[in-house]
Each structure stands twice: as structure tokens, then as C-alpha cells.
A and B are shown apart, each in its own frame.
Chain A
Amino acid sequence: MILMLALPVAALVLLSFWTQNGFELDRTLTVENYAQLVRLSDEPTIWFGIPFYFAYPVPAILMLKSLVMSLTATIAVIALAYPMAYFLAFRITRNKAMWIILITIPFWTSYLLRVFAWKVVLGFNGAINSGLKAIGIIDQPLEFLLYNPGAVVVTLAHSWVAFAILPIYVSLEKIDRSLLEAASDLGDSKLRRFLRVTLPLSAPGTVAAALLVFIPTVGDYVTPTLVGGPGGTMIGNLVQELFLKQNNAPLGAAVAIMMMLIIAVVVAIFLWAIGYRRIRARRM
């Protein structure tokens, strides 16, 4: 633990308190990097109609954009994974192991290859465009498929769906079937039974799955690099850019640490909101 996690994080924290001065690294401790991230300016930068009153607005804008994109991807992942896990847990009675293996087969290939495959699917002469053209629905290739935030969200959703299916499946599998029978016997319709018994009991797995997808996707940079174009840039790309292009590792480290803190806060708020609702439900 200490070697693999604590030391690198400590190094990152230390680095974020240094500053880059041309080619030299200035090793005096300062909070200048963080100050740069939150320094205000009178003239706002307008992005999507939202005014950002920052002197250096790029990190804040990309952070917000990444959170929104990854939240969308997470919702899409849960919407895709839940029915699949449900099917696996309740409809499949034989050869369950084989089904699980089948679901994970696409994930035996490299992450990079899967992202690249989406580039082929969504591309100008890609699978979707040539398919639609062949059956005569469109005569000009659709331009909006690749190189935008939408393409990033679609690719992220697909790449992470297997990670969500398994925790949801486990929590659904653990539900005591007699509870479902009891609900039916007491007159619940199928929908009410699902909403009152299945869904709450599978909540832990679903929450775990959502966090498992949300946390890593916020900082992803491979997917936006390959399918996002300049419009699909995320905060991870900024960190990479600061480290490897602008040669400003200390500022990159500060952005990375701010990102971790913000994600931690967002996740804490999310968990608090869920826990709060559950307590209230019990009182009633």
C-alpha cells in the first residue's frame, strides 16, 4: 500500500507545491499553483452560457464538463447494465458461468482497441454511416457521430458496462426469492414488486457500480484523445497536456489533486443524498 499508493500520491502533492520556471523546477514551497486555479477575474469567460469568473478558467470549465460527461456515461452504463444483470440473475437458470463469460468476452481485448473500434464504428466511412447509406436512409454520411462529447460518452459507456454488470448481478443474485413471492402473495403487481423489493435490495450493488464507473471516467484521457476531437476534451487531457506538452508538471499535479478532491466531494454528496433518503423512507 505504502509503496504503490501513498508514496506516489505524496510525491504528487509535493510536486504541486513547487513551481516551474522555464526549464527549471523551483523547489520553494508555495501555493501559487492552487492560487492560479482559483484566482478570480472581473471579466468572465462565457462557456455554454455559463460565466466563469476565473483568471485561468480552463481547468474549472473542463472539470465541470468532465463531471457532466462522466455522469451521463454513468447513467447510460447503469441503464444498460441493470437490465442485463437482471436477466442474468432471474431469467438464466442453467449455465450461468457461461453467460457471465460471454458477457465479459469483449473485455478480453485491450481497452485501447475497444476505443479505437468505436472510431471505426462512428467514423465518416464507418460501420454506422456505410450501413445507413446502404439501406438508403441517408445519402450523405452523418457528420455528428465522431469527434464530439457525445462520441466520448458512448465509448465510455460501452467500455465500462462490464464493470457495472457484475456488482449489480451479485446484489440481485443475493436477493431472497421468498421475499419476491411474499410480495406477489400480498397483492403487489410486478412493477410494484420490482420498485418496492428488488430495486431497494439491489441498491448497494448499483451504487457500487455507479461509483466504479464514475470515479475513473472523470479522469479518463485515452477515450477523449481518440474519439473526442478538440470538442471532447476532458480534465484528464489537461493534466496530460500540462505534464507532457506545456512542461508544467507542478501545475499539472495541482490540477490532478484538485480533481481528486472534487471527485471525492461529489461522491460524498452522492452517498450522503442516498443515505439520507433511505433514513427518511424508514421513518415513514
Chain B
Amino acid sequence: MERLKFIDRMASGKVSRRQMMQSAAAFGVGTMMLPRRVASAEVLTCLEWGGYDSPDYFSSYVAKYGAQPNFSIFAGEEDALAKVLAGFAADVMHPCNYSVSRFVNAGVAAEIDTSRLSHWNDIFPALQTAEGVVWEGKTVMAPADWGNSSLAFRPDLLPAEFAENPSWSIFYDEEYKGRVAMSDNEMAIIIGAMIGGMPYDEAYKMEGATLEAAAKEWGAKAVNISKFLWTDSSEVQQAMASGEIVAAYAWNDLVANLRAEGVPVVFAKPKEGMFTWFCGLTLLNTGKADEQAAYDFIDAWLAPETGKALIEGSGYGHSNMKSFEIADPEAIANMGITDPVEMMKDTIVFKTPSDTVQEGFNKVWADTKALKY
């Protein structure tokens, strides 16, 4: 009855503020007195790309610890870095060859002791020492997956001339306004500059006035022509499956997934070139979990079983040479090139911009997007 009386008095405005605060404090005290979770065994926290949180990719970790780690999904490495710098305590992050330096320079990446990784010796030797895996003489990324960024399009919805001679210029063509989707990334400016005749080796490190001009000319065009700028690969996949968009900046998984659904789609080799990236796991020094758990997680990513799942499930390559021995031969044949070294010779490998260049791109790209109407 006492409780009901209190509510009655509160409703008729007879409770003084002090009494109100006291009652509120009682609730606060209640929360503080609730049993705390045992703090000893911190769960591993991973910053991961959307889709890579599937347990297929780290089955040996799950087998050992009986549970998945915690995931925080990011849309781009810069988001993830800002999150870590803002105080997010992650143990492991999944950067790529061109972005790992940002984590090293920000002082959040730790050197990896490769002797603690059981699968390290099966990694393609070229990847073990590639720029990005090794940065300033230290191994800072355990390479895991590699693949391409290119132009994916629907051949059934585009004229035959385009299919014969695909070009990135579709993203800057008024004729395709609202029917294409670029990714939400400064690549829109870089690729534009490449169409304008600048080689990738210069375009990736544009700065100052050159960058401003390229953003005004190409970035603004890409933003206005694109139906939306995708940050989430399932979003662009659905739009492409429905025919809402006919061409997109994409990774191999989009093509593999759409083909599995029976949607006709081509992963083009545009005349300006297709891009290759390789990504991997970086140990962060901001984590709270046991370091051994982080190593086990990284090692799980390097396992041939993970490679098999990557190759068969999304058409990505894997860093472990043994993966190609156990994966379905048909899936391997679908990939085309299965040697990362050959792949890199044949395509444009993403390069690492300096911190100032990257920060310049971040700002200019954000401003370009904001000015769309």
C-alpha cells in the first residue's frame, strides 16, 4: 500500500523534490548493488568488416573457446581507427595492405610474433614480406584474405557495347544517373582522376589543390550520379539483384553471392584497370582480453579451413597455400587467378597513402558528399 500511496501522491504533485530524488536514488543504489559480472575472463573484441563475423572463418577459435568473440562491424578502416582512438578497447582489427600503416602511425598496432602462429609457414612467401604485412621492419599484419575491387555490372540490363568494353566511366556518366552505386569511399575521386588520365601511382597520393580540383570534377559527379553510396555490402547486393542499380563498385563476394542467387552479373576488368587488395589481422594494443586469445583468433583466420570457406563462399583468395589444395576445384576455377603474386602483376595493387594524404582525402570526400542536393 505504501508504494501505491507514493504513486498517488506523486501524481497529484504532493511529493517534494527531495523525496523524489530519494526514491530515484533508491533505484540507483539498486543497480549498483546488482551482482557484477566476473571481470577475470574478458571476451576478445574484434573490429571486423561486415560479413566476416561468420564463424566459418574462425572455426578453430570457436572450437577452443566454445564461443564467438565480440564483434564491432565497421564500413571502412578510417571509421574503425577513429573508434579505437576514441577509446574503444578492441583486441584485433582487420585492416588491409594500404591501411595498416594508419594503425601503426597512430600507435595502436602491436608487432605480431609470427612464431606464435601455427599456420604462418604455409603463407605465400610473397605475402609474408609484402608492404603492409611488414611496416617499418615489423610484422604488423597477418595476411589472411585477398581479392579485388572492381566494377560489377548486370549484362542483361546494359547495352552490349558496354559489356564488351567495360569502363569505370559509367559512374560519372549522366546517362546512368540513379542507376549505379559507388562505394562510400574516396576511391570515387581516385578512379575519376584515373579516367581523366592520371595514373594510379599519382592519383592515390593527390593533395592540396590537385585533390580539391579532382574532388570538384570527379567526386561531385560520382556522388550525384550514384543512387546511393554503399557502406554495407548487403545493401548494394539487394539493389543489384532487384535491378535498381545496374553497376556497382564491388568486391568478389558480391559477384559470388549474386551468382549463387541466379542473378546474371559480371565482375569486369575495366579498361582503366581492376584493383587488388590483401587484408589481414592486426593485433591492437588497446585490448583487454588475453593476448593468447588474440593469437588464437588470428591463427584461426590463417587456417586452410578458413581459406576453403572464403574461396567457396565468397570467391576471395586466401593467404594459406594449403587452402587451395582442399577447396572445391570448381570454386577455384571460378576465381580465375589463384596465385596472389600473379594477380598482383595483372592488376593495380592498392598503395599506402601517407597520413596527411589520407586525412586530406577523408576531409575532401566528406565535404563532397555533404554538398550533394
A binds B: yes
Residues of A near any B CB (own CB < 8 A): 22-23, 45, 47-48, 57-58, 61-62, 65, 123-125, 141, 143, 147, 149, 229-231, 233, 237-238, 241-247, 249
Contacts of B367 in A (CB 8 A): 58
Could you tell me if B372 and A231 are in contact, using CB atoms closer than 8 angstroms? yes
Q: In the complex, A147 Cα to B372 Cα: how many Å?
A: 12
- Alpha-carbon distance between A57 and B107 when the two chains are bound, in angstroms: 33
Given contacts A23-B107, A244-B82, A247-B78, contact A230 B372 (CB under 8 A): yes
The answer to whether the Cβ of B226 comes within 8 Å of any Cβ in the partner chain is yes
B220 shortest CB reach to chain A, Å: 10
Q: Are A246 and B359 in contact (CB under 8 A)?
A: yes
Q: How many residues of B contact A (CB 8 A)?
A: 33
Residue contact B86 to A249, C-beta cutoff 8 Å? yes
Q: Are B242 and A230 in contact (CB under 8 A)?
A: no
Which of chain A's residues has its CB closest to B241's CB?
A: A125
Question: A45, A125, A147: which contacts B228 (Cβ < 8 A)?
Answer: A147
Shortest Cβ distance from residue B193 to the other chain A in the assembled complex, whole angstroms: 20
The closest CB in chain B to the CB of A246 belongs to B362
Selected from B106, B227, B242, B372, the residue in CB contact (under 8 A) with A233 is: B372
Q: How far is the CA of A203 from the CA of B254 in the complex (A)?
A: 54
Contacts of A149 in B (CB 8 A): 373
B349 to chain A, nearest CB (A): 25
As a 0/1 sequence over residues 97 to 116 of chain B, the CB contacts with chain A under 8 angstroms (1 = contact) are 00000000111000000000
Interface of B is mostly: helix
Chain B residues with CB under 8 Å of chain A are 76, 78-79, 81-83, 85-86, 105-107, 178, 223, 226-229, 239, 242-244, 355-356, 359, 362-363, 366-367, 369-373
Q: Cβ of A62: which chain B residues have Cβ within 8 Å of it?
A: 370
Contact B178 A125 (CB under 8 A): no
- On chain B, the residues within 8 Å of A233 by CB distance are 369-370, 372
A159 to chain B, nearest CB (A): 20
Question: Is the Cβ of B82 less than 8 Å from the Cβ of A23?
Answer: no
Please give the distance in Å from B358's CB to the nearest CB on chain A.
10
Cα(A58)–Cα(B367), bound, Å: 6
The answer on a CB contact under 8 Å between B79 and A244 is: yes
- Pairs A-B, 3 closest by C-beta atoms: A124-B244, A229-B228, A230-B372
How near does chain A come to B362, taking the closest CB pair, in angstroms? 5
A247 lies within 8 A of B363 (CB): no
Q: Determine whether the beta carbon of B362 is less than 8 Å from that of A229.
A: no
B372 cross-chain contacts in A, Cβ below 8 A: 230-231, 233
Contact A230–B78 (Cβ < 8 Å): no
Q: Which residues of A contact B370 (CB under 8 A)?
A: 58, 61-62, 233, 237-238
